Amino acid sequence: GQNIDQPTEMTATEGAIVQINCTYQTSGFNGLFWYQQHAGEAPTFLSYNVLDGLEEKGRFSSFLSRSKGYSYLLLKELQMKDSASYLCAVRVPNNAGNMLTFGGGTRLMVKP
Amino acid sequence: SAVISQKPSRDICQRGTSLTIQCQVDSQVTMMFWYRQQPGQSLTLIATANQGSEATYESGFVIDKFPISRPNLTFSTLTVSNMSPEDSSIYLCSVEDSGLREAFFGQGTRLTVV
C-alpha cells in the first residue's frame, strides 16, 4: 500500500518562514509533487522533485531525500494569501502506467 | 501548460439519478485522470482514462458506478451513477504535461446529492 503523512494543520505569522514536512512509504517512486489548494478551488502546482536535493522557486522551495522517504516544502516571507492547504503527492507506478497518491494535506493558517 | 475546462462546476442532484461531468483540454494528452475529493479530505484517484481503451479503475471504484468515456485525446467524461448522499464530493479531472513534471487540474465539479 501507499502511505503519505503530513501534518494536518499549521499556523504561522505573516513575514515568517514555515516548513511543511511530508514522509512517504510507497511501492515505487517516480517523483514527488507539492500542490497548493485554496478553499473551493482546484489544486495548483508548486514544485516537483525527482532527485535528492533542494528545488527553489521564488518564495517556495522543496527538498527531497529519497533514502529517507522525506520531503519538505519551505515557504518564506509568508503572506496572508498563502493561507491554504498544501498537498504532498507521490507519483507511483500502477496498472495504467503512473498515478499520483496524495497525502491528507496540511492546512496552513497565516496570521497577521 | 494545459488549460482544462470542466463542467458543470456544481450541481445538486436527487438520489438515484446520474450525473455526467465533462472535461475538455486545450491540447492532446495521452492520459486523463479522474479524482474525488470528499469534504475536508485529500484527493483520491478514481480511474485513469486512456484514449481508445477502457479506463483503469483504482481499488474501491468500479465501472458500473463511475463509467468513463474517452472518445479522443482532448475530451473525457465521468458519470456518477445511481447517486446517493455518500457521493457528495468534488470531482476533478487532471492531465499531466508531456514531460511528466506537472499535473494540471480542472476547476472541479462540486456535487451535492439530496
Report pLDDT for B2. 82
For chain B, the distance separating the N- and C-terminal CA atoms, rounded to the nearest angstrom, is: 37
Tell me the percentage of chain B whose pLDDT exceeds 90.
Answer: 77
Mutation to test the A interface, candidates B5, B38, B43, B54, most A Cβ within 10 Å = B43
Test B58 with A99 for CB contact under 8 angstroms: yes
Report pLDDT for B94. 95
Report pLDDT for B39. 85
Test A104 with B41 for CB contact under 8 angstroms: yes
Q: What is the mean pLDDT of residues B6-35?
A: 95
Chain mean pLDDT for chain B: 92
B51: its cell numbers: 484514449
Residue with cell string 483504482: B58
Report pLDDT for B63. 96
Please write the tens of the pLDDT for every residue from B42-62: 899 999 998 878 899 999 999
Cβ of residue A65 closer than 8 Å to a chain B Cβ = no
Give backbone dihedrals phi and psi of B99, rounded to 5 degrees, phi first: -85, 0
Report pLDDT for A98. 85
Q: What is the mean pLDDT of residues B96-113?
A: 85
In one letter, which amino acid is B31?
A: M
Residue with cell string 502506467: A97
Test B43 with A43 for CB contact under 8 angstroms: yes
Report pLDDT for B52. 78
pLDDT-derived band at A5, boundaries 50, 70, 90: very high
pLDDT-derived band at B98, boundaries 50, 70, 90: low
Interatomic CA distance for residues B30 and B53, integer angstroms:
11
Report pLDDT for A80. 97
pLDDT-derived band at B100, boundaries 50, 70, 90: low
Report pLDDT for A29. 95
B67: its cell numbers: 463509467
Chain mean pLDDT for chain A: 95
Instruction: Say yes or no to pLDDT of A69 above 90.
Output: yes
Cis check: omega of the bond before B71, within 30 degrees of 0: no
Of B50, B103, B108, the CB nearest to A33: B103
Cβ of residue A6 closer than 8 Å to a chain B Cβ = no
Beta strands in chain B (DSSP E): 4-7, 10-13, 19-25, 31-37, 43-50, 56-57, 68-72, 75-80, 89-96, 103-105, 109-113
Interatomic CA distance for residues B63 and B91, integer angstroms:
16
Report pLDDT for A108. 98
Cβ of residue A39 closer than 8 Å to a chain B Cβ = no
Poorest-pLDDT segment among A48-57, B44-53, B59-68: B44-53
3 state DSSP class of B87 = helix
